[in-house]
Structure 1
Amino acid sequence: MRIPQIRLESTFMKIGLNIEKPVQKIEQPPAILKIEQPPAILEIETIPGKLTIDQTKAREDMDLKSIFKRVEEFAQNGYQDWLKGLERRARQGTELMKIENGGNPIADQAKENSEGTPKQFNIGWIPSYFSVKIQYDPAKVNIDVKPQKPKIEAEIRKPIHEYTPGKVSTEILQRNSLKIDFVNLFQE
């Protein structure tokens, strides 16, 4: 038996794309910098140290005294000797007033007045310990620093930007089609 048939044959459309990629070029030139650093202002003030050496006592110990010191000592010694002499004469006068109490005050006083005190001698040219006085005031240093800010000049340079846009074009590679075919059709 023959069955009539309708045959359909279709093809789809094929589209082709032509793509040109975009081109982008970016270049950044470096900035132009000018930097200047002024030196800091530095002020230094020095107060020198002071060394004081007082050897007056050491010189006095070695009997190398100043004239003013000698005059002062002689005056003091003279006054002390005068007081001792005054005290001795008053005591001896009292002894003579009381001669009736016995003893031999005239001979004793003659012996006392003729003999002096025993002399003592020591090495006279060596000064005593710590007789030289030393005083030291250390030096002082004052430092004043004033920093200076840097001077910066910057020139900014714009980037170089080149851009070529991309393109897309289409083309039909194959058109769509439809074929219709009839088979086994009766003709009467």
Structure 2
Amino acid sequence: MQLPQIRLESTNARIKLNIEKPVQEIQQPQAELSIEQPAAELNIERTPSKLTIDQTKAREDMDLKHISRRIEEAAQQGYQDWLDGLERRAQDGDELMRIENGGDAIAEQAKRNSEPPIYDFNIGWIPSANSVQISYDPGKVDIQWKQNKPIINARVNKPILNYEPGKTNVELARYASLKVDFENLKYVGINYEQKI
């Protein structure tokens, strides 16, 4: 027995995609950096130390005097000797003036003038204690400084962007189809008739 059949044969549609990929370019320019470091300012003021040693008295004690000191002492000694001589002569004159009062004034004056004086003298080349005067000023150092901060200038450069968007083209590579086939059917009018 043959049964009527309707055979359907379909083919799916096929899509074809043409894709252009997007292109993106990024450039990052380097940042511009400027650094300046001013030098520090340093100021040093120094008062030098001072050592003073005065050995004038020690040298005088050893009879190593400066010429100006010797001249001064000689002038004072000469003036004192002159005053002492005036006094002695006045005294001798007074004694001779009163010779009538008794006494042996001429013999005493002759004895007094003929005897050398007795000098007090010790070791002459040793200076007396504390004859060397020492004074010391340590001086002073004043240091002033100023730190200068670095001068930093930085400029950031924005990135350079180039972007081309991609494209997609859609095409039908194959259309869909439907094939209908009848078997054991007869078309009559508007109906199908079956043949048995």
TM tier, shorter chain? Answer: 0.5 to 0.7
Superposition pairs for residues 29-178 of structure 1, below 5 Å? 38-153=38-153
Gaps of 5+ in 2: 1-31, 159-196
Q: Distance in 2 between matches of 1:50 and 1:87?
A: 50
Could you state the TM-score of these two structures normalised by the residue count of structure 2?
0.57
Q: Distance in 1 between matches of 2:59 and 2:102?
A: 52
- Runs of 4+ residues over 4 Å off in structure 1: 32-39, 152-158
Could you state the TM-score of these two structures normalised by the residue count of structure 1?
0.59
What is the alpha-carbon root mean square deviation over aligned residues?
A: 2.5
Gaps of 5+ in 1: 1-31, 159-188
What does the per-residue CA deviation read over 1:51-101, in whole Å, with 9 as the maximum and x for residues that have no partner? Answer: 121111111110001111111111111111111111111111111111111
- C-alpha deviation, 1:157, in angstroms: 10
SS at match of 1:45: strand
SS at match of 2:130: coil
- C-alpha deviation, 1:149, in angstroms: 2.1
Q: Distance in 1 between matches of 2:148 and 2:154?
A: 19
- C-alpha deviation, 1:118, in angstroms: 1.0
Q: Distance in 2 between matches of 1:37 and 1:152?
A: 9
Percent identity at matched positions?
Answer: 66
SS at match of 2:46: strand
Q: Which one has a bigger Cα radius of gyration? A: 2
1:168 alignment counterpart = none
**Corresponding residue pairs, total:** 128
Q: Distance in 2 between matches of 1:66 and 1:35?
A: 68
